[in-house]
Each structure stands twice: as structure tokens, then as C-alpha cells.
């Protein structure tokens, strides 16, 4: 299928790419647009390509990639997938389906608002879906403004901590703002304890140049994240997904990848105790995924925190901000000094059955939230009041 819309003046055209071979033909133009737009890792061609091959296609989803051209030049791209969920046809951004921010990649020097409206019209007219699922949209973004104009949606709020390291002039001063004196002392002690366990070193691995070693580190990280998840009761489907493991491995080792991917790791001897995967973009670093040793012998010394400190110093020295991704985990808020990007996850009905389904989902969501809130208040009310200080 290739639907084609054109603006009245015929300078802009909009098509939907549904064929994988045609998607591959967009690589050079897409990379050029990504560079002009200073895009994030989640807007890159490589991530979309490997998400399609390793996650979406094996799951039986259909490609629905919107491309807008201005006088023949690619000005916007928005990769999506269409799929069945129960009785409903759904549309959502193409990606690894973990917790990535949804956004449209567009040329900031173009008439991008008109292009975005053309793309949204294509969704409304040709996607043949019941619900458009747009998770983790930046509030105030062009995509968010388009959704707001539909006036028919349900949404949940979230956040993404962001460390503005380019605003910081001195590393020691920044550390003092992030850590209390006691915590800084504790961090130094933890690093000393780790170094006493063996030869302590931090390595930065280029996954393209060291494919086998990078794959070993990723496999190690997944095994320990699964062990950690089992202990704390967090078992996301992606943790045990072979498709997600294949995606990460193939994406980071792709020699044509437009991003600079690095695996930063702390080793004791030759044993990894903490690993993080990051993507260096033009103005910032995206934190992709991280894991640490689940054995208490190492875990009690907080190797993840020690690695974070070393990695953040690298980003500071490169004068790059750090995007920690979706979620308000304490360590993210600490490093970002509680500075965040506000997000909203939307469900936009596009049919009568979709409207009914989103309304029922929202009622269920409110009921579950109300019950959880009531339970929390009940537990707090039963706890004995704290004794007054003497």
C-alpha cells in the first residue's frame, strides 16, 4: 500500500511505506534528516530498522511508515506499526516497545507544522485502525499538539529525568549539588571496597569494533537483570525476550549505525560488575539500559552507582547533557537534580468500537488507581503514630 497525499500547492507530498525493502531504501535520506534535526536515538533509522526486523516483524505486525517530502526532499519521517490486539486494530510507533519516547523526526528548517498535520491526516484517513497508541509523548511537542487537537483521547502522565550538564561549569560543584557530604564519602568508600576485591577498572567498549565482547557483556547484563527482577518482583516481558536480546545485539553492532554506541563497564579482574549501554548523539547522551551484578558479594558495594559516577564524568567532559529516559527512579532524579521532561501516554480512538474501548479502559484505570490509593491510606492509618522527640 502506498497512499499519497499532497498539499494544495503540490510542494509537499506524504506517502506511507509498508514494504521492508522500501524502508531500507530510505536509510541515507533518513540519516541526513536525523543529523539536520539533531535527533534522539529513538528517531534514528538504525533503531527503526532493527526494531522492525527483530521485534515488530516476528510479532506479525505491519509496517506503516509515514514520509513527508518538501519539493522532493525528505522533511519528516514517522515510523509506525499496525497490529491486532484482541478485537481491535492498533497503531503505535515502531520501536523496541520498552519505554521509549514517541516523537516525529522532522527538519526544523522546513514547514514542519504543516508536514506534521499532513502526516496525522494520513493516519486518520488510511490507517484503518480502532485505536492509536502513542506512549510517552513529550508534552508541548509537535506530536503532542497534534494529539491535543483531536480532542478525543485518554492519557496518563509520566516523566523523563534530564541532566543539563552543559549548564554546569565545574564537576566538583555539580557533585556537591547532587550528593550530600555523607553520600560523597560513602561513594568513595564503595569504590575503594570494590577495588579491594581485585583489579578494578572501567572499560568503554565500541560494539562495532568489538562485536563478540560487546555481545558477551549484553548477555551478562540480561542474565543479571533477570535475576534482579526476580528478587524485586519486576519481570517485564522484554527481560526474558529473545527478540529483544537479538534487537539489542544486532542494533549496537551494526556498522552502518549512525549513532555512536558505547558499553561502559566496571570490571573486577575480568568479571563485569556493572554495565551500561549509552548512545552519544550530537547534543546529549541517551541512557539505553544498565545492569549490575546480582551477587551480594558485589552488589552491596553499589557498582551501579559507582559506574554512574564515572559515566556522568565522561558526559560532563564531553559537554553533553544526559537523557535518562522514561521513569522517575531515584537515581535518575538525583543526577538530573529533579529536572525532568513531562510526558503523556495517549490512546486516541479512531472508530466507534475504539471509542468504547478507550472509555472502558479509562474507567478501569481510575478504579484500580482509586483502590490502590484507598489501600495505601488504610495501611498508613493503621500504622502507629511516630513518637514525639524527647
Domains and CATH numbers, the chain: 4-158+345-373 (3.40.630.30), 165-338 (3.40.630.30)
CB 51 within 8 A of CB 96: yes
DSSP 205-256: E-TTTTHHHHHHHHHHHHHHHHHHHHHHT---GGGG-HHHHHHHHHHHT-TT
295 pLDDT more than 60: yes
pLDDT of residue 232: 65
Q: Could you give the CA distance from residue 72 to residue 235 in angstroms, rounded to a whole number?
A: 46
Q: What is the pLDDT of residue 10?
A: 55
- Closest residue by Cα to residue 79 from 27, 36, 38: 27
**What does the pLDDT look like over 329-358, one tens digit per residue?**
999 999 999 999 999 999 999 998 888 888
* pLDDT at 236 (0 to 100): 63
Lowest model confidence (mean pLDDT) among 13-22, 150-159, 183-192, 263-272: 150-159
| Residue 388: predicted pLDDT | 41
Residue 233 has pLDDT above 70, yes or no: no
**Average pLDDT over every residue of 217-225:** 89
Least confident segment among 156-165, 177-186, 217-226, 227-236:
227-236
Angstrom distance (rounded) from CA 41 to CA 39: 7
Question: Smallest Cα–Cα separation from 300: which of 222, 221, 211, 197?
Answer: 197
**Structure confidence by residue, pLDDT tens digits, 151-170:** 788 889 999 999 999 999 99
Quickly list DSSP for 183-217. Answer: HHHHHHHHHHHHHHTS-EEEEEE-TTTTHHHHHHH
Euclidean distance between CA atoms 218 and 227, whole angstroms = 14
306 neighbors 266 (Cβ within 8 angstroms): yes
Residue 145 has pLDDT above 60, yes or no: yes
Element housing 181 (H / E)? helix 181-196
d(CA 237, CA 285) in angstroms, rounded, equals 26
Q: In sequence order, what DSSP letters do the residues of 295-311 get, joined into one string?
A: SHHHHTT-HHHHHHHHH
Q: pLDDT: is 304 or 378 the higher one?
A: 304
Percent of the chain at pLDDT above 90?
Answer: 73
Contacts of 320 (CB under 8 A, 6+ apart): 165, 166, 280, 283, 284, 285
pLDDT of 256 above 50? yes
In the numeric block, which cell numbers belong to residue 238? Answer: 522484554
Higher confidence at residue 287 or residue 242?
Answer: 287
Amino acid at each position: 500500500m502506498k497512499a499519497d497525499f499532497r498539499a494544495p500547492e503540490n510542494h509537499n507530498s506524504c506517502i506511507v511505506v509498508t514494504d521492508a525493502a522500501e524502508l531500507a531504501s530510505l536509510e541515507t535520506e533518513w540519516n541526513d534528516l536525523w543529523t539536520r534535526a539533531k535527533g534522539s536515538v529513538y528517531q534514528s533509522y538504525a533503531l527503526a530498522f532493527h526494531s522492525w526486523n527483530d521485534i515488530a516483524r516476528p510479532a506479525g505486525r505491519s509496517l506503516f511508515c509515514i514520509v513527508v517530502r518538501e519539493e522532493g526532499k525528505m522533511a519528516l519521517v514517522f515510523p509506525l506499526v499496525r497490529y491486532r490486539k484482541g478485537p481491535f486494530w492498533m497503531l503505535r510507533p515502531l520501536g523496541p516497545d520498552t519505554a521509549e519516547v514517541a516523537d516525529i523526526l522532522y527538519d526544523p528548517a522546513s514547514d514542519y507544522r504543516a508536514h506534521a498535520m499532513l502526516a496525522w491526516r494520513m493516519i486518520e484517513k488510511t490507517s484503518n485502525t480502532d485505536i492509536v497508541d502513542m506512549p510517552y509523548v513529550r508534552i508541548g511537542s509537535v506530536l503532542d499538539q497534534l494529539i491535543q487537537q483531536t480532542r478525543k483521547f485518554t492519557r496518563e502522565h509520566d516523566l523523563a529525568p534530564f541532566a543539563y550538564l552543559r549548564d554546569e561549569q565545574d564537576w566538583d560543584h555539580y557533585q556537591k549539588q547532587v550528593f550530600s557530604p555523607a553520600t560523597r564519602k560513602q561513594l568513595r568508600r564503595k569504590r575503594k571496597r570494590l577495588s579491594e576485591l581485585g583489579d578494578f577498572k572501567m572499560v568503554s567498549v565500541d560494539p562495532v569494533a568489538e562485536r563478540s565482547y560487546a555481545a558477551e557483556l549484553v548477555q551478562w547484563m540480561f542474565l543479571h537483570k533477570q535475576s534482579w527482577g526476580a528478587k524485586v518482583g519486576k519481570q517485564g516481558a522484554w527481560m526474558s525476550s529473545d527478540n529483544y536480546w537479538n534487537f539489542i545485539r544486532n542494533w549496537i553492532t551494526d556498522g552502518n549505525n549512525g549513532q555512536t554506541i558505547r558499553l561502559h563497564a566496571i570490571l573486577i579482574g575480568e568479571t563485569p560488575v556493572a554495565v551500561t549501554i549509552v548512545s552519544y548523539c550530537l547534543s546529549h547522551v541517551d541512557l539505553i539500559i544498565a545492569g549490575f551484578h546480582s551477587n551480594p558479594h558485589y552488589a552491596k558495594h553499589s557498582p551501579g552507582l559507582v559506574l554512574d559516577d564515572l559515566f556522568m564524568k565522561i558526559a560532563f567532559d564531553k559537554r553533553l547533557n544526559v537523557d535518562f529516559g522514561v521513569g522517575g527512579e531515584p537515581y535518575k532524579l538525583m543526577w538530573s537534580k529533579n529536572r525532568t521532561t513531562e510526558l503523556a501516554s495517549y490512546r486516541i480512538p479512531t472508530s466507534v468500537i475504539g471509542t468504547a474501548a478507550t472509555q472502558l479502559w479509562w474507567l478501569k484505570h481510575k478504579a484500580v488507581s482509586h483502590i490502590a490509593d484507598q489501600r495505601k491510606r488504610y495501611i498508613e492509618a493503621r500504622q502507629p503514630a511516630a513518637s514525639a522527640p524527647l
